[in-house]
Amino acid sequence: MTKQERADHIARVLADLYPETPIPLDHRDPYTLLVAVLLSAQCTDVRVNQVTPALFALADTPESMAQVPVEAIEAIVKPCGLAPRKARAIRDLSQLLVEHHGGTVPADMEALEALPGVGHKTASVVMAQAFGVPAFPVDTHIHRLAQRWGLTKGKNVVQTENDLKKVFPRESWNALHLRIIFYGREHCTARGCDGTVCDICRTCYPRRRKPVQTKKS
């Protein structure tokens, strides 16, 4: 298979497996999604969904969150890890949303990335899932699968994102990045598949015998 043939095959398989692509993080609006995605860094979606009800009961708008002491936020988000940093970012970005964006989350990649604690991946998720703007958020899990499937030789998520955008139609990006996440969790896990076990890996590389070592910068 060529790279494009692999990409086309993968897109068909994932669309059949996951015709629906529900957003894994519980949220009510762009702001609560932004906070949930920020909390998900180095944390599972399941854990975030366990934590956010208490956080959003305390404050669920930029205006209200900006008035909450960082210590109170930190106490709630502690199970998500990196609590001091995340709590400060949540409070600070809430203040900036009030001061510079009228208390609303901007549908603009550059403006999102300028917020405290919001990197390119987080901004991409918000653009895709809150505003429906085509984006291809790539985390370490998608990076690993893209290498196993021969869709990139990139050593970092930036290069992998660029490579994936070249082989998949723009209109498919938002659903596809979720489908890849779903498949990675169920079939092509970090420990359960090394590039030789799951159906997609075996179909794309039927003669592969050696495990694929993920390249990282």
Span 9-45, pLDDT tens digits: 999 999 999 999 999 999 999 999 999 999 999 999 9
Do residues 56 and 77 touch, judged by C-beta distance below 8 A?
no
Domain with CATH 1.10.1670.10 in the chain: 3-20+136-204
Q: What is d(CA 100, CA 44) in angstroms, rounded to the nearest whole number?
A: 31
Q: What is d(CA 108, CA 110) in angstroms, rounded to the nearest whole number?
A: 6
- Other CB atoms closer than 10 Å to residue 109's CB: what's the count? 15
The overall pTM is greater than 0.85: yes
Q: Find the helix or strand (DSSP H, E) in which 183 lies.
A: helix 173-186
Top CATH class of 30-131 equals mainly alpha
Band of the pLDDT at 216, cuts 50, 70, 90?
Answer: confident
DSSP string computed for 38-73: HHTTTS-HHHHHHHHHHHHHH--SHHHHTTS-HHHH
Residues 6 or more apart in contact with residue 164 via CB below 8 angstroms: 136, 138, 142, 146, 151, 152
For residue 209, give the DSSP letter.
-
- Other CB atoms closer than 10 Å to residue 211's CB: what's the count? 12
Count Cα neighbours of 133 within 13 Å in the Cβ-side half-sphere.
13
Answer whether residue 217 shows pLDDT above 80. Answer: no
Reference 61, options 24, 9, 105; nearest CA is 105
Q: What is d(CA 83, CA 187) in angstroms, rounded to the nearest whole number?
A: 31
Strand (E) positions, the chain? none
Q: Which residues are catalytic?
A: 121, 139
Band of the pLDDT at 189, cuts 50, 70, 90?
Answer: very high
Q: What is d(CA 217, CA 51) in angstroms, rounded to the nearest whole number?
A: 32
Domain with CATH 1.10.340.30 in the chain: 30-131
The mean pLDDT value of the chain amounts to: 96
Q: For the domain bounded by 3-20+136-204, which CATH number is listed?
A: 1.10.1670.10
Model confidence pLDDT, tens digit, residues 38-88: 999 999 999 999 999 999 999 999 999 999 999 999 999 999 999 999 999
